[in-house]
Amino acid sequence: MSETITADREAALISSVPKSLYIDGQWREAHSGARLEVQDPSTGKVLCEVADAGEQDGWDALHAAQRAQSDFAAMPPRQRADILMRAFELMHERKDDLALLMTLEMGKPLAEAYGEVTYAAEFFRHFAEEATRISGNYQTAPAGNARFLVTKQPVGPSILITPWNFPLAMGTRKIGPAVAAGCTSVLKPSELTPLSMLALAQILQDAGLPAGVVNIVVTSNAGGTMEPLIRSGIARKLSFTGSTAVGKKLLEQCADHVLRTSMELGGNAALVVFEDADLDKAVEGALLAKMRNSGEACTAANRLFVQRSVAKDFADRLAQRMAEFQVGRGVDDDVKVGPLINAKQRDKVQELVEDAVRSGAEVLLGGEPIAGEGYFYPPTVLFDIPEGARVRSEEIFGPVAPVTPFDTEEEAVAAVNSTEYGLSNYVFTNDLTRALRVAEAVESGMVGINQGVVSNPAAPFGGVKESGLGREGGDIGIDEFLETKYIGIAM
Q: Please identify every residue annotated as catalytic.
A: 264
Distance CA 110, CA 116 (A): 10
CB nearer to ligand NAD: give 429 or 467: 467
Binding mask 452-481 for ligand NAD (x = CB under 6 A): -----------x----x-------------
Smallest CA-to-CA distance from 172 within 473, 481, 483 is with 473
Find residue 306's DSSP bridge partners. Answer: 273, 405
**Helix, strand, coil share (%) of the chain residues, nearest 5:** 45, 20, 35
- Kindly state the smallest distance separating residue 143's Cβ from ligand NAD, in Å: 44
Among positive and negative, which fits the CA dihedral 407, 448, 452, 375? Answer: negative
Instruction: Give the CA-trace dihedral at 215, 226, 267, 336, to 10 degrees.
Output: 50
Q: Identify each DSSP E strand in 157-268 by its residue range.
A: 158-161, 185-188, 214-216, 237-241, 260-264
222 near ligand NAD (CB under 6 A): yes
58 near ligand NAD (CB under 6 A): no
282 near ligand NAD (CB under 6 A): no
Distance CA 229, CA 225 (A): 7
340 near ligand NAD (CB under 6 A): no
Among positive and negative, which fits the CA dihedral 398, 300, 479, 248? Answer: negative
57 near ligand NAD (CB under 6 A): no
Options 1-9, 39-47, 163-171, 432-440: segment touching ligand NAD (CB under 6 A)? 163-171
CB nearer to ligand NAD: give 247 or 328: 247
- Kindly state the smallest distance separating residue 341's Cβ from ligand NAD, in Å: 8
Three-class SS of residue 140? strand
Instruction: Give the CA-trace dihedral at 285, 385, 369, 162, to 10 degrees.
Output: 60
| Of 223, 360, 386, 388, the one binding ligand NAD by CB under 6 A | 223
423 near ligand NAD (CB under 6 A): yes
Q: Which residues 285-304 are close enough to bind ligand NAD by CB under 6 A?
A: 298
Options 137-145, 261-269, 400-408, 410-418: segment touching ligand NAD (CB under 6 A)? 261-269
Asked if 150 and 479 count as a contact pair (C-beta separation under 8 A), the reply is: no
Three-class SS of residue 123? helix
| Of 246, 449, 464, 476, the one binding ligand NAD by CB under 6 A | 246
266 near ligand NAD (CB under 6 A): yes
- Residues in touch with ligand NAD (CB under 6 A): 161-166, 170, 188, 190-191, 222-223, 226, 241-243, 246, 249, 264-267, 298, 395, 423, 463, 468
